[in-house]
């Protein structure tokens, strides 16, 4: 057994060979490599410098393209920017076992999370999304998710909810742009009987429905300023007033907002409150275009 092969087995042992399914990429043809990956999903792919063959890079690119959940770790070399964009971790020197084990666990958790959110690929932008979701989920901080329509902002919001302490509570998602301005306040905060024509009974709003869970406000940029100030009150005091009620209610919902608009430009134009923006955007997640 070569010295490099011995080192690779040692690293597998440090990571915890009994806890993960490995594909050990050794010397061989492209077909042999791909055949190892058709039998099932793997938690980690370990590629050593012994696989440094003319077809190695092509093989690697094909595997990355066809096996998004695969998490390759290139060991003992390849310290170049080209490959660094294609993998999750490059080891160019020996690492302590505990550090390596934590790195492997983080890589597996990150890749599984991205798969859950429907975000496929290997880029610093996607890694930042996964790391931010894992970091902020246990907190109660509001989160602002930005990006083009169709990039999966609601999936990211739901993932934050699913990894939070509120996971057993409801996840209520609303599209603020789909609700007429005249109805948005009563839909959000509820209303009392007799508050307006047609209010024949006390009716809970989205804050009531999401109690103990998460309220996802999609297209927050479409909210009129009359409602923005009331959302700001919730974020500042934790209280809100149903329409027609003089008694405040205590809010118990984590707020996650999303938009495909440039809120900074809207602030400059006087269309979005600066104080609300900074309350919502203490933590921001940008979802890159899928194209």
Per-residue confidence (pLDDT) for residue 17, from 0 to 100? 54
pLDDT confidence tier of residue 54, bands split at 50, 70 and 90: very low
Say yes or no to pLDDT of 89 above 90: no
Top CATH class, 126-287: alpha beta
pLDDT confidence tier of residue 176, bands split at 50, 70 and 90: very high
Per-residue confidence (pLDDT) for residue 68, from 0 to 100? 41
* pLDDT tens per residue across span 111-155: 788 888 888 777 778 888 999 999 999 999 999 999 999 888 999
Which segment, 34-38, 43-47, 277-281, is predicted with the most confidence on average?
277-281
Q: What is the DSSP string of 218-246?
A: ETGGGS-HHHHHHHHHHHHHSEE--BT-S
pLDDT confidence tier of residue 95, bands split at 50, 70 and 90: low
pLDDT confidence tier of residue 105, bands split at 50, 70 and 90: confident
d(CA 207, CA 287): 26
Q: Where are the alpha helices (DSSP H) in the chain?
A: 3-15, 30-36, 56-66, 81-84, 97-116, 124-136, 153-162, 181-189, 206-209, 225-237, 263-268, 274-280
Selected residue with higher pLDDT from 213 and 106: 213
Per-residue confidence (pLDDT) for residue 100, from 0 to 100? 72
Residue 189: HSE in the Cβ half-sphere, 13 Å Cα cutoff: 27
Per-residue confidence (pLDDT) for residue 266, from 0 to 100? 97
Say yes or no to pLDDT of 58 above 60: no
Per-residue confidence (pLDDT) for residue 256, from 0 to 100? 98
Number of Cβ within 10 Å of residue 194's Cβ equals 11
Q: Are 214 and 187 in contact (CB under 8 A)?
A: no
Q: Thinking of the domain 3-116, which architecture would CATH place it in?
A: 3-Layer(aba) Sandwich (3.40)
Residue ranges covered by each domain of the chain: 3-116, 126-287
Per-residue confidence (pLDDT) for residue 108, from 0 to 100? 78
Mean pLDDT, rounded, of the chain? 80
Residues 200-227, mean pLDDT to the nearest whole number:
95
* pLDDT tens per residue across span 183-205: 999 999 998 888 888 888 989 99
């Amino acid at each position: 057994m070569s010295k490099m092969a011995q080192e690779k087995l040692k690293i597998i042992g440090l990571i915890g060979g009994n806890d993960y399914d490995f594909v050990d990429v050794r010397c061989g043809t492209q077909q042999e490599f791909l055949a190892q990956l058709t039998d099932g999903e793997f938690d980690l792919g370990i590629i050593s410098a012994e696989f440094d063959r003319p077809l190695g890079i092509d093989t690697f690119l094909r595997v990355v393209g066809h096996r998004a959940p695969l998490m390759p770790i290139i060991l003992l070399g390849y310290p170049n920017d080209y490959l660094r964009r294609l993998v999750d971790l490059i080891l160019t020197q020996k690492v302590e076992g505990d550090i390596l084990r934590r790195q492997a666990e983080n890589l597996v958790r990150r890749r599984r999370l991205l798969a859950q959110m429907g975000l496929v690929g290997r880029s610093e932008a996607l890694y930042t999304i996964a790391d931010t979701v894992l970091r902020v989920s246990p907190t109660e901080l509001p989160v602002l998710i930005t990006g083009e329509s169709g990039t999966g902002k609601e999936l990211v919001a739901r993932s934050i909810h699913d990894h939070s302490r509120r996971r057993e509570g409801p996840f209520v998602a609303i599209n603020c742009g789909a609700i007429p301005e005249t109805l948005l306040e009563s839909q959000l905060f509820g209303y009392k009987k007799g508050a307006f024509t047609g209010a024949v009974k006390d009716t809970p709003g989205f804050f009531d429905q999401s109690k103990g869970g998460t309220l996802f406000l999609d297209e927050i940029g479409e909210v009129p300023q009359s409602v923005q100030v009331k959302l700001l009150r919730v974020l500042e005091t934790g209280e809100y007033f149903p329409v027609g009620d003089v008694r405040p209610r205590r809010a118990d919902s984590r707020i996650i907002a999303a938009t495909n608009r440039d809120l900074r430009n809207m602030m400059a134009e006087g269309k979005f409150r600066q104080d609300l923006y900074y309350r919502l955007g203490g933590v921001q997640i940008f979802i890159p275009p899928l194209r």
